[in-house]
Amino acid sequence: MYESDEGSPRLKVRDLEHLAEQHRARLLAEGYDLSPVRGESRHLAGSFWAKAWMRNLSLCEAWGMNLAPGRTLLRHGCVLHAEIREGLIYALIAGPEVYEVRVSIAPPGEERVAALVASCRGKIDSLVSLLEGKLSESVLACLCDSSSGLLPAPDEWRMDCSCPDWGEPCAHAAAAIYAAGVLLDASPEALFLLRSFQAERLLQDAASLSPEGVYDAASLSSVFGVEIELPE
C-alpha cells in the first residue's frame, strides 16, 4: 500500500500508474510542459554522482528520514515533472491530486567551501574528470563526505509540498529528492547548480586549464552528450 494524504483512502500500488497517467494527460491538455522522471533501473542511478546521491540518501534514511515512499512513487511514474534549479528541486508529483514540491538546499558555508578547495587543490586535473568522478579515492571521499562534502546532510533540506501531509519529508518531497538523483545521471553538473557552488573553484590549480582558462570542448561534449562550442 502507498499511504495517501491524511483523510484520503490509501492507494494500492497498482493504481498509482493509472492515476499518474490521468494527471499527466490532464496537465498536458492544460498546456503544461512536463519533464517526467522515472526510476527504471534497480539502483535508480548509473553514473558516479547519481550513485553518490543515492548512497547519501541511504545515510539520510539511517539518520531517520523516511524516504521509502518516495522510491515507490518514482518507480510507478508519479514524478510528472522534476527539475533542478539553483538551490532548489522543483517537482510535480501525482497522488490523489497533483502536488507541487519545492525542496531547497542552502549553499555550503564559506568555511566548508574553503576546506573543500584546499583539500582538492592541484588534485583534480579537469572538469570532465570531476563530473565523471574519475578522481583519487581520497578526493572522492572528501567531496562525498556526508558532513563536509558536496552532498547535503539531513539538516540541510528544507521541504515545502502543497499536500496536507505534515511529515518532513512527505512522500511527494521524498519522490522529488530521488528524482533529482536520477537527473544527475544525465546531468552531473546539476549537483553544483543545486548546491550553488561553482565547480571551477575546485580546479584552481588544475593542469587541464590553458593559460586562458579554457576547457576542451570535445571532452565536455562527450560528458553531456551534446555538441558544445566554447568561446574563443
Cβ–Cβ under 8 Å, residues 220 and 128: yes
Torsion sign across C-alpha atoms 58, 131, 84, 111? positive
Give residue-wise pLDDT tens across range 159-202.
999 999 887 889 999 999 999 999 999 899 999 999 999 888 88
Cβ–Cβ under 8 Å, residues 154 and 65: yes
Cβ–Cβ under 8 Å, residues 97 and 169: no
The neighbour count for residue 218, using CB atoms within 10 Å, is: 10
- Residue 159: its H or E element: strand 157-161
What distance in Å separates the CA atoms of residue 98 and residue 90, rounded to the nearest whole number?
A: 13
Asked if the model's pLDDT at residue 1 lies above 50, the reply is no
Mean pLDDT of 128-136: 91
Closest CA to 195 of 105, 131, 133: 105
- Which residues on adjacent β-strands are paired with residue 159? 103
The neighbour count for residue 33, using CB atoms within 10 Å, is: 7
Residue 225 confidence (pLDDT): 54
Backbone angles phi, psi at 206, to 5 degrees: -70, 135
Helix then strand then coil, % of the chain, to nearest 5: 45, 10, 45
Mean pLDDT of 62-81: 90
Give residue-wise pLDDT tens across range 20-42.
999 999 999 999 999 999 877 66
The model's pTM: 0.81
Residue with cell 558532513: 147
Domain range summary for the chain, segments of one domain joined by +:
13-224
Using alpha carbons only, what angle is made at residue 46 by residues 177 and 101, rounded to the nearest 5 degrees?
A: 15
